[in-house]
Amino acid sequence: MSGEIENLNNDYFEMELSESDTVETLAKAFEVTPEVIAKANPDVNLAQIIPGDRLRLPFPPRCRGTIYIVRRGDTLASIAREFNTTEAALRRENPFLNLIGVRPGLPLCIPAPQPRPCPGFFYTITAGDTLFSIAARFNTTVQAILRANPGLDPNRLFIGQQICIPTSQPPVCPGFIYTIALGDTLFTLATRFNTTVQAILQANPELDPNRLFVGQRICIPVPQPPPCRGFFYTVVAGDTLFSIATRFNTTVQAILQANPGLDPNRIFIGQQICIPVQQPPICPGILYSVVAGDTLFSIARRYNVSVDAILAANPGLDPNRLFIGQQICIPAPR
């Protein structure tokens, strides 16, 4: 498709001069100095160039597409049609056209076409892949893959090539999107996220439970929890329901009642659970949030009340187990 380049090296090409060409115009067009052109043409008297002479000129700046060498008879419109682009796009990529126009031998940068959006995800071809095996693996069809990849030759796939795998529009996920990692199975995911394999399959129509792949995104459904009459706590390493209940002055049974479906033997780091708190009586004073270093004695002294008065205003409060952010009632001094 492209014409021949009379290359001296990778940085220059030769072009036949027209009547309007001057060294100054060419230097401006290719964003170099006249000295650069003179150095590339030591055998040419640049003060007396005439139409028909051939000059070595620098290639245009690095092209973000492909290089096409203009042939005789080419116009900007015909080149734009040939490469499915526009004249305006060609002028943007080749600003020297505004000074010297289109002529044979001139290297043009053809902008890379904008990729079509992929209605699914991109897959990288590996050894042994065929469109049929890929379609079977991802529960689609060869025809659907070809429609999503115009120009793809089904008989010429190469390792490392990226193709679009179309997927049907998934329903709204009643939970969160999880990316499959090495070793995942639907059973381990259901166990980890306190759901069931059946619930995951219902949230992911067309998902093949025997063909999960690393990087695949699936919906993990979570039951809509009842309102938390307390606060949410994020599980950290070493937590058990018993240690959490002890820390927050409640019981394992109360936590289980506040978190239907929670497995007391399978809590995981990052899991959020509701810590129920009893509705406190009306505070005859102010509510205070515990900060690091607080003790009931230091708080009582700060507000000029007694420890006994604070305990009377906060039934069930353990004076030896205050935690940061805990709210306690400070009664007004009498």
Instruction: Please report the pLDDT score of residue 223 as a whole number.
Output: 65
Burial of 67 (0-12, 13-18, 19+ CB in 10 A): middle
How does pLDDT run across 87-122, given as a tens digit for each residue?
Answer: 888 988 888 888 888 988 888 888 876 666 788 888
Rounded alpha-carbon distances, angstroms, from residue 87 to 80, 108, 109: 6, 12, 12
39 vs 63, residue with greater confidence: 39
Instruction: Tell me: pLDDT of 3 over 60.
Output: no
Please, which residues have CB within 8 angstroms of residue 182's CB and are 6 or more apart in sequence? 214
Instruction: Tell me: pLDDT of 30 over 50.
Output: yes
Domains and CATH numbers, the chain: 12-111 (3.10.350.10), 120-166 (3.10.350.10), 179-221 (3.10.350.10), 230-276 (3.10.350.10), 285-331 (3.10.350.10)
Rounded alpha-carbon distances, angstroms, from residue 281 to 5, 195, 298, 325, 329: 90, 37, 23, 19, 9
Please, which residues have CB within 8 angstroms of residue 132's CB and are 6 or more apart in sequence? 142
Rounded alpha-carbon distances, angstroms, from residue 160 to 122, 128, 308: 11, 12, 73
**Mean pLDDT confidence for 73-87:** 87
Rounded alpha-carbon distances, angstroms, from residue 201 to 133, 198, 209, 280: 23, 5, 8, 43
241 vs 179, residue with greater confidence: 241
What is the biggest distance separating any 2 CA atoms in the chain, rounded to whole angstroms? Answer: 108
How does pLDDT run across 140-153, given as a tens digit for each residue?
Answer: 888 889 888 887 88
Instruction: Tell me: pLDDT of 32 over 80.
Output: yes
- 272-276 and 230-234 as β-strands: parallel, antiparallel, unpaired? antiparallel
Instruction: Please report the pLDDT score of residue 298 as a whole number.
Output: 93
How does pLDDT run across 288-333, given as a tens digit for each residue?
Answer: 888 888 999 999 999 999 999 998 888 777 888 888 878 889 998 8
- Output the pTM of the full model: 0.34
Instruction: Please report the pLDDT score of residue 21 as a whole number.
Output: 87
How does pLDDT run across 244-276, given as a tens digit for each residue?
Answer: 888 888 888 888 888 877 778 878 887 888 888
